[in-house]
Amino acid sequence: MKIYAWAGAFGIVFFLLPSLVAAVLRRSYLRQLFVCNLVTGLTFAGWLGTLSWALTNKPYPFDARKNPKTRLASLMFLGAFLIEVGAIVVGFYVHRH
């Protein structure tokens, strides 16, 4: 039954891969790209289009690593994502046992 939890966690990460790539590469249209990923990500064409948008979009004009507010926001986003994935995995595990 653990395989379902791992498969679910992998599926969520794979589904949100374009948004994660955009966040890591500091793309300027991250919010719009995230919404587009949520809406069209279930179709292969939508997911592929969102991923290509994340890879080809221009980054912010300033260096986000030097801005403490942007760095804190990125860390909070990553922390919230990891907590959410952990909660899903634990939920699957508790549900099955």
Q: How far apart are CA 34 and CA 50, in angstroms?
A: 9
The total number of structural domains in the chain stands at: 1
**Domain assignment of residue 8, given as a range:** 2-96
Q: What pLDDT score does 71 carry?
A: 62
Q: Secondary structure of the chain: what % helix, strand, coil (to 5)?
A: 80, 0, 20
Q: What digits encode the pLDDT tens for the residues 34-85?
A: 888 888 878 888 888 888 888 886 665 555 556 556 666 666 767 777 787 7
Q: C-alpha distances in angstroms, 70 versus 22, 65, 90? A: 14, 7, 30
Tokens of 49: 């289009």
Tokens of 97: 């046992």
Q: What pLDDT score does 68 carry?
A: 59
